[in-house]
Each structure stands twice: as C-alpha cells, then as structure tokens.
C-alpha cells in the first residue's frame, strides 16, 4: 500500500511507456474488477495488470483503504498511459499499433 500512497502514477506510466509496457491497470476488489476508462480495443490489444487487495482481510479497514487508493492510482496511471499513446497516435482502434512485449 505504501507504493500506492506515496507513488506517482503519472511517473510510473511514463516508465512503463518507455519500456513499451502498454498494459492498463485494473483493480480487483474481492468479487469486483474495476476496468480502465480507455477504449476496449486498447485493453484487448495491450492487456492489463492488476492491483488487488487480497492480501488484506476482507471487510477490514486496510482492505477497503487499499481498494479505494488503488482505484484512484489506476485511474491516473491509465490516463497518463493513454496520453502517452496519443502522442504517437497509438490510441486508435484501427491501424498499426505496436504490440506490447509479454
């Protein structure tokens, strides 16, 4: 949780972009999964990586806090990553878009 609280999602997105890791963040909160607010075709193309609160006891303060902070972190990370993709015109559903390294 410390990384989420003190982290800079825009900076992390820039690092990921530089490494050609175009995966968007999703948040797994128990049975719910928060999807990125980006075009679905980009999620399909590049994939996702997850933040999950499963290491905390369900219903605890830490569990709920992690989920809340992770959703905000993911929102800003995904927005910054999408902005970086737009600078190269890689945010289009059609056309040539580089495939992320696995």
Three-state SS string over the chain comes to CHHHHHCCHHHHHHHHHHCCCCCEEEEEECCEEECCCCCHHHHHHHCEEEEECCCCCCCCHHHHHHHHHHHHHHHHHHHHHHHHHHHCCCCCCCCCCCCCCC
Q: Is residue 92 part of a domain?
A: no
Tens digit of pLDDT for each residue in 16-32? 999 999 999 999 887 78
Q: Is residue 98 part of a domain?
A: no
Q: Is residue 12 part of a domain?
A: yes
Residue-level pLDDT at 97: 63
**Residue 8, domain extent:** 2-87
Residue-level pLDDT at 54: 74
Q: Is residue 99 part of a domain?
A: no
Q: What is the tally of structural domains in the chain? A: 1
Tens digit of pLDDT for each residue in 27-79? 988 778 888 999 999 999 999 999 887 777 888 888 888 888 889 999 999 99
Q: What is the pTM of this model?
A: 0.84
């Amino acid at each position: 949780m410390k990384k989420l609280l003190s982290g800079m999602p825009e900076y992390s997105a820039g690092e990921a972009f530089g490494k050609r890791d175009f995966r968007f963040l999703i948040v797994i909160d128990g049975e719910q999964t928060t999807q990125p607010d980006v075009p679905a075709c980009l999620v399909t193309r590049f994939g996702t990586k997850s933040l999950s609160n499963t290491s905390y006891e369900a219903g605890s303060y830490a569990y709920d806090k992690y989920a809340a902070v992770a959703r905000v972190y993911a929102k800003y990370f995904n927005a910054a990553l999408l902005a970086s993709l737009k600078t190269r015109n890689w945010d289009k559903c059609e056309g040539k878009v580089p495939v992320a390294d696995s």
